[in-house]
Each structure stands twice: as C-alpha cells, then as structure tokens.
A and B are shown apart, each in its own frame.
Chain A
Amino acid sequence: QKEVEQNSGPLSVPEGAIASLNCTYSDRGSQSFFWYRQYSGKSPELIMFIYSNGDKEDGRFTAQLNKASQYVSLLIRDSQPSDSATYLCAVNDDYKLSFGAGTTVTVRA
C-alpha cells in the first residue's frame, strides 16, 4: 500500500487566517490526489481533487500539487470556525485510495 504522510496537528489558526495543510506520498507514479474533510463522529466528505501539477481553486479552498516533490497541499483562506475538522489526504492506489492519518484543524474565534 502506498504511504501517505500528514502532520497530525492539531493546527490552530485564528478566524480569518489561512490554514495550510501538507501531505507527502511515496509513489512517484501516483496520478490522482484528494482532500477530504471529516467532522468528529461523521463520515469523510470530499472537498477537492487534483490531477495536474499546479494550483486548483474552489471557493476558499486551494489545492496545490507538485509531483516532482511528491507533495500536495491544501490552503483554506478566510478560515471559519466551521472549518474545524480533520482533513484527510488520499492518493489513488490501483482500485482503491491510500489515506493519510489526517490533520486536525481548529479555527479559534
């Protein structure tokens, strides 16, 4: 199984700031990358996916991919208390996804 590494956190940011989450992966041949948000006691929810090098923006979220460095990140702009959750990075691994352990984000008002 492919390895996916994330800082476990917790990452604490003030409301309105930018939260930056990082993820590294072991397989240079990986093609698809995903970010999920999971609130406590709930199931993971897909928030972003990225296939090509560079940036992809969706509302307050920006995913950044650098395949040469085997690195994918998620930026959350104008962080809100409702963004407080665990964020999971996932990488495609044949017919399944390999998930990181997640980074817990706390946005303080």
Chain B
Amino acid sequence: ETGVTQTPRHLVMGMTNKKSLKCEQHLGHNAMYWYKQSAKKPLELMFVYSLEERVENNSVPSRFSPECPNSSHLFLHLHTLQPEDSALYLCASSQVVAVSSYEQYFGPGTRLTVT
C-alpha cells in the first residue's frame, strides 16, 4: 500500500445516480491529480490541484466535478454518467516546487462501472 488511499475501490452505478470518489494522501504533498484509465488505453489526466487551487481541467465533461477542500483530500463527484465513463479512476499526489513536479505516487484506484 502507498501513502495515497482511495475509496471506494469498486463502484457500480446507474446513469441517473450521484456518487463521489474520495482520495486522501498522507505524504505531505501539495498537489493532487485525478486520472482516468480505460481498458488498454493510456492514462488520461483529468484534473490537477496545486496548493488546493485547480490548475488544470483537461476538457472533462461537466458530469465530473472535482473538489479539493485541503491539501490532503481530493474528491471526484459523479452525476448522470454514461457507460463509456466506466474505467479505473486513479488519484495521485506529488510535491510541486517552483512549478515543477517531482515523482507522483498513485492510489490503488476506483474501478467504476456505469450500467
């Protein structure tokens, strides 16, 4: 296990449901990230928070809504998802110094299935 935890580990939801993914890092880092990884596809960066401020939003549909209440916690709120949103959702954290990122550490991921 790493210093980044994610809950839940598995989630099945209908297209009309609302759910939230939670990420917590215990590494004292100042930046957190959400990635999406679909089957046999590369990592897709969704959101970046640095010092609790959202610094990147890679054209992600509005049905995904991130929240970063402090430097240790990150949420991804989900609503009215589509079946193509089924994927592994990964959270990561890193230390950013002078707009330069050091290594990122990943949580175990949430396997999301949209029915």
Contacts and interface: CB of A to CB of B under 8 A. Distances in A.
A46 B106 CA distance: 9
Interface residues of B, number: 26
Contacts of B59: none
Contact of B31 (A36, A43, A95, A100): A95
Contacts of B104: 34, 46, 90, 97
B3 to A, nearest CB: 12
B108 A96 contact: no
A92 B43 contact: no
A46 B48 CA distance: 19
Contacts of B108: 42-43
Given A95-B48, A95-B55, A43 B101 contact: no
Given A43-B108, A96-B48, A101 B42 contact: yes
Contact of B45 (A43, A49, A88, A96): A96
Interface residues of A, number: 23
Contact of B99 (A90, A95, A100, A101): A95
B109 interface: yes
Contact of B103 (A43, A49, A88): A49
B56 A99 contact: no
Contacts of A34: 103-104
Given A43-B90, A101-B42, A102-B42, A96 B107 contact: no
Contacts of B42: 99-102
Interface string B87-107: 010100010100111111111
13 contacts: A34-B104, A42-B108, A43-B107, A44-B43, A44-B90, A46-B105, A49-B103, A92-B102, A94-B99, A95-B56, A99-B42, A100-B42, A101-B42
